[in-house]
Amino acid sequence: MKPAGVILCGGASRRMGRDKATLAVDGEPLIRRTVRIMCESVDRVLIAAGPEQSLPTLDPKALVVRDLVAHTGPLAGIAAALPECTGFRHVLVMPCDCPAMTQGTIEWMLARLLPGRSLFVKTHEIVHPLPAVYCLDGLHDKINRLTGMGRCSLKGLMSLLAYDVVTDPPDEAVFAPCNTPEEFEQAIRHPGSIRE
């Protein structure tokens, strides 16, 4: 069974200076590109957006869910999407700001996924909480427990999960940060970011 997919795009984008979802890669808004690539590998695509966030026209297969409170971090976006993941065992979670992501990298991750376990990728001694595949078993309760303690980080969530770490992805550029205009320009110069 293919997983569900969640694209997180409700962040404030302060360092970028504008909404990352609307940045263009080869003339295509980043959020639309991410949806297109993800649609090939998952059975349901959910977009976790801010409460008032405006998005470009998207593939009708993608369902937009709204964070309850604006700019409260990735856990809020994941939590907003979980009610739509009923019946799935795993969810692929990606930020919208992965211009170097390819379907090949997604398929590489999914091929290494084990039942009942989450999966994270490690590059340059960093275990990345995004993009990653999260096991849905008890995930909602774990997020509620963390947020109830005032902890809202993905690293905190990882500490509560059974997971595997894989290395040597087909393209490490997928996992590079993309938070500033300079990082974005570097990412879109990468060959994988141009229309797969």
pLDDT at residue 195 tops 50: no
More confident residue, 5 or 150: 5
pLDDT at residue 171 tops 60: yes
What's the rounded mean pLDDT across residues 27-41? 91
Which of these, 28, 38, 170, lies nearest to 92 by C-alpha position? Answer: 38
Q: For residue 65, what are the domain limits?
A: 4-193
CATH number of the domain that residue 57 is part of: 3.90.550.10
pLDDT at residue 196 tops 80: no
- Spatial contact of 181 and 17, defined as CB atoms under 8 Å apart: yes
User: Quick one: pLDDT band at residue 65, thresholds 50, 70, 90?
Assistant: very high
Count the domains in the chain. 1
d(CA 181, CA 183): 6
More confident residue, 52 or 45: 45
187 CA to centre of own chain:
16
Percentages of the chain per state (helix, strand, coil), in multiples of 5: 35, 25, 45
pTM tops 0.85:
yes
- Looking at residue 140, its pLDDT comes to 94
- Spatial contact of 117 and 41, defined as CB atoms under 8 Å apart: no
- Looking at residue 107, its pLDDT comes to 97
Mean pLDDT score of the chain: 88
Left if phi > 0, otherwise alpha if psi is -120 to 50, otherwise beta: which for 25?
beta
pLDDT at residue 138 tops 80: yes
What's the rounded mean pLDDT across residues 107-118? 97
pLDDT at residue 70 tops 90: no
- Looking at residue 12, its pLDDT comes to 59
| Ordered DSSP codes for 114-137 | -TT-EEEEEETTEEEEEEEEEE-T
Q: How many residues does the chain have?
A: 196
